[in-house]
Chains A and B, each alone.
Chain A
Amino acid sequence: MASALIETDKVEANATKILVAEDDKDIRELISFTLRLAGYDVWTASDGVEAIELAQEILPDLILMDVRMPRMTGYAACEIMKQKESLQDIPIVFLSAKGQEAEIQQGIDVGAEAYILKPFAPVELMSQVKDLLSAVGRE
């Protein structure tokens, strides 16, 4: 079973940048592959600390973040990002399991734009990301 990141064709130079912060390797790759298929430039981080560092480096147009991650939770990372001038305007979307209403509300409270529920169909992910990006004018 291949464990290397699935590569797709090179994306265009001015493609929209998306940062995906997710600790589970398989979900991380699933999301990356799906979004690259849709033509986005995808960067990945495996925890909150890495997510903040990478965000400052690449300044993505959208950040998809899992709620539960080691070292620093999605909320904590979101709160920190909203306090940094360079990052505070980047829309953050949480990935949460269905039925976790309390978690979802907490996410909105710390400044997340929206949330995507797991499990999701790849095609749903693509369309939700597309809608979110155009809603914030970054398409």
Chain B
Amino acid sequence: MSIEKARLLEQTRRRAIQLESIVESITDAVIVFGPEDRIASANPAVRHVLGLPLELCLGVRLHDIIAQECGREVADRAQVISLAFESSRQKMQQDAPKVKCRFELSGQVIDASFVLVNWKEGQPPDIVAIFRDVTRQAHIDRIKEEFISVAAHELRTPLTVLQGYTELLLSESVGKVAPMQERFLKTIKANLERLAELVTNLLDISRVEAGTLQLNFEELCLPNLVAEVLPAFQAEIEQKGLTLVVEVPRNLPVIWGDQSRLAQLLNNLMSNACKYTPGGGQIGIMARQVNGQIQVDVMDTGVGISLQDQEQIFSRFFRADNPLIREIGGSGLGLSIAKSIVVLHGGEIWVDSELGSGSTFSFTLPLAREGSPDTMDPPEGPRLS
């Protein structure tokens, strides 16, 4: 063997050892499923994350571990893991080679990801599986969600009472109301509505922050959704003399999304469009298919957003430093929530605007596909900002 080859071989050997040490030291369990679903390799973490003895795993299939006489405990665990593996494999497609799922394993909560990896041409791909114990995190999430639920209930109780009685007074159900009294009561009512909206927004943001915002996905018809949202703006549009343009073709393909959250998203954007456009201006909503997704544009000819502000427009509590904007009022949470909703749907949201000319907010949504999951897999990685 030439010296060159020997050196190359040595280098490769060292590299292999290095990579192996890295995988051995990872605290998440890493399993590579090779041909016939046999475990080609597994790291020591399989023991403390999955409760599977390393010696049992190598070279066998999960089915074999279940069948072997190694105790009920291990067999049960292998069974659960095997189910997660099978259901994830079914969801794998050429264009979506990575599938994630979460499952419970003997009291633990495990986040798993399965990836198709093609080592060699002409050979079927291996599946690399990574398992992480997220029991503690899941527990904390449950506590957070419970807190938010209680807060929602506690905040809404006095709001319900206040709004209810104010409404009853205004409707003269308990006696006539003098003009000044009526005026004061209307002010109270308007501010209670602001408060109610703020509470809703804060609770939504808390949920996004806690990672516990639940979406219920189903097939939806975008034109219908738009038709449901628009009537709420009729009064304001008429009052301000705005022109409304709607270009949402009926033959758009069905989308995959959470109806109430998407309605909230559209509401948010439309509300901004109306709010920040002075009388006589134009607002519009358009939808079309672009690159296998649906793109929705909500435009207005209103105050616009400076390039500098555009960078932060989707941040929590951000409000443009523009006297016109400040005068109109708003919590600064609407766009942050809008972004979270879009991201949770797997889409993108962006703005195209010029100060003084108007803005167009655009977002994309995925189409409904055959075999789409019923619920969203848990949001991955770092918190949405």
Chain B residue numbers with a CB within 8 Å of A100 are 149, 152-153
Interface positions, chain A 79-101, Cβ under 8 Å from B, are 97-101
Chain A residue numbers with a CB within 8 Å of B252 are none
Q: Count residues of B near A (Cβ-Cβ below 8 Å).
A: 25
Cα A37 to Cα B164 with chains together (Å): 13
Known: A97-B152, A101-B214, A101-B260. A119 touches B159 (CB 8 A): yes
Q: A119: which of B164, B168, B207 is its contact (CB, 8 Å)? A: B164
Interface-forming stretch among B7-15, B76-84, B196-204, B346-354?
A: B196-204
Nearest chain B CB to A69 CB, angstrom units: 11
Asked whether any CB of chain B lies closer than 8 Å to the CB of A113, the reply is: no
Do A118 and B157 touch (CB < 8 A)? yes
Size category of the binding interface on chain A:
20 to 34
Known: A99-B200, A101-B214. A119 touches B163 (CB 8 A): yes
Known: A98-B200, A102-B214. A118 touches B160 (CB 8 A): yes
Known: A27-B161, A98-B200. A123 touches B153 (CB 8 A): no
Asked whether any CB of chain B lies closer than 8 Å to the CB of A26, the reply is: yes
Cα A132 to Cα B20 with chains together (Å): 65
Known: A100-B149, A100-B152. A122 touches B164 (CB 8 A): yes
14 A-B pairs within 8 Å (CB atoms) are namely A24-B157, A26-B157, A30-B164, A68-B153, A97-B152, A98-B156, A99-B207, A101-B216, A119-B159, A119-B160, A119-B164, A121-B167, A122-B167, A122-B168
Q: Which 9 A-B pairs have the closest CB atoms?
A: A119-B160, A26-B161, A30-B164, A97-B156, A118-B160, A97-B152, A119-B159, A118-B156, A119-B163
Given contacts A26-B161, A100-B149, 18 further A-B contacts (CB under 8 A): A26-B157, A26-B158, A27-B161, A27-B164, A30-B164, A34-B168, A97-B152, A97-B156, A98-B152, A99-B203, A101-B214, A102-B214, A118-B156, A118-B159, A121-B167, A122-B164, A122-B171, A122-B173
